[in-house]
Chains A and B, each alone.
Chain A
Amino acid sequence: MIRRTIDWLKRIGPWTALGLFAAGIIFWGGFHWALELTNTEKFCTSCHEMQENVFKEYQHTIHYTNRSGVRATCPDCHVPKEWGPKIIRKIQASNEVLHKVLGSIDTPEKFQQKRIKLAESEWARMRANDSQECRNCHNFEFMDFSEQGRRAVRTHSVAFGKGQTCIDCHRGIAHQLPPIDQEIGAPRPAGTAVKAN
C-alpha cells in the first residue's frame, strides 16, 4: 500500500503532489467555510418563518441577552458541535428546506398548529443525545452545588440521581411552549396538547 503510494507520487512528480495537497486544503476549507455560514444566527433568521416566530420569542430569554453578554445563538443549541453528528443534522435539515418551499409554517397560525410536533421532535433529539448542546456549556460534572440556590440543588441532585437529562425539565427556556395538558379548565381535545410530566 505504502509502496504503491510512493510509486504514484513519483509518477505525478513533486509539484503536482504539492498542488493536489494545496487544492485539498482549499476545498476542505471552503466546504467548512460554507457550512459555518449556515451555522450563524444571521443565516437562521434570514427566513421569515424563524424571524417571525421562534426568533421573536428567543429575544426575551437569557440566552439572547444577559448581564455578561455571553450568548447561545440558534446553532449553539440546535446543531451539534462534533463533526459527525453535525453533518447528520445538516443532511436532516434538507427536510426543513423542503418545508420552507412547501410553506408548511409560513404564517404564525400555521406555526402554532405545528408547534407540538416541532417541539416534540426537538425534545426527542435532545433526550437522545443526553442534552449534548446544553452540556457543551452547562456541564453538570463541573457544577458547584454550594453555589446554586436551594431549589436548584435539591432538584438537580434528585434529577441526576434518576438519570434525567437537562431537557426533561428545562423546556421552553428559549421559546414559548406548545399547549401542555395541566388539567386546568375545560379538557383539551386529544392531540391538541402535550401531556404534562
Chain B
Amino acid sequence: MNALAALLALAIAGTALAQEKVAPIRGATPIPDLNPADTYRMEKHDRAIPRNNAWQPPIIPHNVKGYQITRNINTCMVCHSRKAALNTGATPVGKSHYVDREGKEHPNISTRRYFCLQCHVPQFDADPLVGNTYQGPGK
C-alpha cells in the first residue's frame, strides 16, 4: 500500500515538473528559428592584457577582423613571428610553438600551432552570459 502511494506521489511530482516552464538563455524563440545576433565590437586595448594564470594563452588585445588564416597565409605571423616581432614590436610567438611533435625546431611556427584563434581570442565588449568569480592564483 505504502509503495503504491509513493509511486503515485512520484508520478504527480513528475507531471508537475514537466509542466514547469523552463527559461532557456535563448529566450522564447522556437528551436528552428534563430535569435537576432547582438552586435558587439572587438575591443582595442592596444597593449598586452595580463594573464589570469601562468598557463593561460595570452588573449588578443586588438581587432583581428578580416585577418586571414588560410592555406595561403597566416596573417598573425606577419607581425608575431620571432623574426618579424623584432621590427613590429608585437609579442613574439612562444618558443614551444616552433617545435613539432617530434621535438624538431622549425624556422617558423609548427603546423600544429597554425590556427592561432583556437587558443588566443580577441575580446568583445559583451557581458558574460554566466557569472564567474574566478580570481586566479596570483590574486
Contact = CB atoms under 8 A, between A and B. Distances in A.
B29 interface: no
Nearest to A179: B72
Would you call the interface of chain A mostly helix, strand, loop, or mixed? loop
Contacts of A180: 72-73
Contacts, number: 52
A149 B46 contact: yes
A182 B68 contact: no
Given A155-B88, A176-B70, A177-B68, A184 B46 contact: no
Contacts of A103: none
B89 A154 contact: yes
Would you call the interface of chain B mostly helix, strand, loop, or mixed? loop
B67 to A, nearest CB: 10
A104 to B, nearest CB: 20
Given A151-B46, A177-B68, A184 B88 contact: no
A154 B85 CA distance: 13
B108 A172 contact: no
Nearest to B44: A149
A196 B44 CA distance: 27
A60 B70 contact: no
A152 B78 CA distance: 15
Interface string B64-75: 011010111111
Give the interface centre of A150, A154, A178, A185 by most chain B CB atoms within 10 Å. Answer: A185
Given A149-B44, A150-B47, A176 B111 contact: no
A184 to B, nearest CB: 5
Interface of A: 60-62, 149-151, 154-155, 158, 172-173, 176-180, 182-185, 196
Interface of B: 44, 46-47, 62, 65-66, 68, 70-75, 77-78, 81, 87-90, 106-111, 114
15 contacts: A62-B65, A62-B66, A149-B62, A150-B47, A151-B89, A154-B89, A155-B88, A158-B87, A172-B73, A176-B72, A178-B72, A179-B71, A184-B74, A184-B111, A185-B114
